[in-house]
Structure 1
Amino acid sequence: MSDFQGLGKGLIIGGFIFIVIGLILLFSDKIPLLGKLPGDIAIKGKNWSFYFPLATSILLSILISLVLFVIRKLF
């Protein structure tokens, strides 16, 4: 029976993470500085452009790691 309880908790946490990711994607244009941090690489040529959000990726990675750390400590 405890296997199902662990699976249930995992599904709830996974669903919560998907909801948070969905909300971030839904409101990403309203979040200030997201994708416009000083470490983001943007190169524009004559007929092309290249964009790599390096600083934004690092910031999101740190935030996700902190959230998962807190969730792991709670359970």
Structure 2
Amino acid sequence: MTPQTGKMVIVVGLLIALAGIVIYFFHDKLHWIGRLPGDIRVERENFRFYFPLTTMIIFSVIITIIIRLINRLW
């Protein structure tokens, strides 16, 4: 292991802690997550299917931007 690996683990841990804090304090304002246009939701009597397609794409773009910013800083 190198010191670079240790730095990356610390940064990832801080990002996870920050996400947890945001969700804990602002959960009532984040109700739109998972209910965006393009998210697939099928509800029947005895069947429920949910596939958050648009939400996953947006999260993927945000995570990619964060990772690229972190890599540029190092």
The answer, yes or no, to whether TM exceeds 0.5 is yes
TM-score range, shorter chain: 0.7 to 0.9
One-letter amino acid of the counterpart of residue 16, structure 2: F
- May I ask how many residue pairs the two structures share in their alignment? 73
Residues 28, 35 of structure 1: CA spacing in aligned structure 2 closer, same or farther, 3 A cutoff? farther
Query: 2:38 and 2:22 mapped to 1: Cα distance?
Result: 20
**SS in structure 2 of the partner of residue 71 of structure 1:** helix
The answer for unaligned runs of 5 or more in structure 1 is none
Contact 1:35 1:53 in 2 (8 A): yes
Q: 2:5 aligns with which of 1, 7, 11?
A: 7
RMSD (Å), alpha carbons: 2.1
Rounded to whole Å, the distance in 2 between the matches of 1:17 and 1:67 is 10
Counterpart of 1:20?
A: 18
Normalized against structure 1, the TM-score is what? 0.77
Q: Offset at 1:14? A: 1.9
Task: Give unpaired runs (5+ residues) of structure 2.
Answer: none
Higher mean C-alpha deviation, range 51-60 or range 12-21: 12-21
Identity of aligned pairs, percent? 36
